[in-house]
Amino acid sequence: MNVLILSRKKMDGIGGLSRLFIELSFHLKAKTYPIYPGNILHIFRLPLKEMDLIYLCDSTLLFFGVFFKFFLKKPLVLNAHGLDLTYSNPLYQIILKRFIKRVDLIILDSNPSLKLLNKFKIPPRKIKIVNPGISVAHLNSSSIINLPLKEKKIFLTTVGNLVPRKGHQWFIEKVLKKLPENYIYLIVGDGSEKKSIQESIKKLNFKYRVFLLKHLDHKELSYVLKNTDIYVSPNLKVKNNFESFGIAAGEAAALGLPVVASDVDGISDLIKNNKNGLLVNPNSKAFVKALRSLENQSSRYKLGQKAKKFTHEKFNWGKTSEEYLQALRAISL
């Protein structure tokens, strides 16, 4: 099977969508032809007529996908997520509603994502749910960066863009201030909420408790995670801004870190309570209770080892790629 894979993200592994693009291109048991902004001209050298189907990594590429569907007369598959379906720009929604019904198969990352398709009235036979696999091969080596002194401190880490749904600012103002001073919060990422987060840090005098590390490369991120005691995903429910899965939390669990995550959106398909983390209601009381339960190093180690085993067994790419392949074969016949 020859699969043309289109992505708007580079193959740099930065962010969940890029990781999905890389892993799918590598692990799918088919001949894949990945096209992304960095190699877009390469498409003119591909044997396009030999493609069996077109695979879109997210909904923003629907216009191009539909074009290739009619040009090549091949099935079109869309891997839809969260924000790419709920982005509220009126023009985008018009385009989305017009073209999404021309897709032959829509693959969703999680069961909770199903409700995002209700307004499009897509027939159930055109929908398939496949949880992405989790790989940490890109985090095998480390580069040392400056971090706070570790002695007697508990490092909490969140990796993700600084946007409202990730809950960074909420966590600082509602949870961290209720924790002992030896709890230190490391934030890896950048984004629109950076300024307001910095204001919260200043207001609460958390200069030595919260550290913004911006975007890091894989080796730097690996170093941060190796020094992390608990990974936190303090996501919040935000209108028209859906977290479809949460790959960063899965990677932390696969590395053997205990994860404390909000029970919102698609995260509940990834983090299973007391199996590969603690899934809690997105309120300060629940988060504080969960984090204090992991204050002891042995408790963190025990949950981390369970998380590592469970995540590798349930979300390994060998199993996941087979699910993707079965779905693709069914529409390419």
Torsions phi, psi for 257 (to 5 deg)? -95, 140
Given a cut of 70, is residue 284 above it in pLDDT? yes
Q: Of 59, 55, 57, 58, nearest to 97 (Cα)?
A: 59
The first and second tokens of residue 240, run together, are 């028209």
Residue 281 pLDDT grade (very low, low, confident, very high; cuts 50, 70, 90): very high
What does the pLDDT look like over 135-159, one tens digit per residue?
A: 999 999 999 999 999 889 999 999 9
Percent of the chain with pLDDT over 70: 100
Single-letter amino acid, residue 4: L
Given a cut of 90, is residue 240 above it in pLDDT? no
For the segment 9-26, the average pLDDT, to the nearest whole number, is: 86
For the segment 173-187, the average pLDDT, to the nearest whole number, is: 97
For the segment 112-119, the average pLDDT, to the nearest whole number, is: 93
289: left (phi over 0), alpha (psi -120 to 50) or beta: alpha
Residue 272 pLDDT grade (very low, low, confident, very high; cuts 50, 70, 90): very high
Exposed/middle/buried for 79, CB within 10 Å: 0-12, 13-18, 19+? buried
Secondary structure letter of residue 227 according to DSSP: T
Exposed/middle/buried for 84, CB within 10 Å: 0-12, 13-18, 19+? buried
Whether residue 164 contacts residue 238, with contact meaning beta carbons closer than 8 Å, is answered with yes
Helix (H, G, I), strand (E, B) or coil at 82: coil
Domains and CATH numbers, the chain: 2-132+316-332 (3.40.50.2000), 137-314 (3.40.50.2000)
Helix (H) or strand (E) holding 321: helix 317-332
Q: How far apart are the first and last CA of the chain?
A: 10
Q: Would you state the pLDDT for residue 333? A: 64
Strands 53-56 and 2-6: parallel
Given a cut of 70, is residue 262 above it in pLDDT? yes
Whether residue 187 contacts residue 212, with contact meaning beta carbons closer than 8 Å, is answered with yes
The first and second tokens of residue 198, run together, are 């910095």
Q: Would you state the pLDDT for residue 65? A: 94
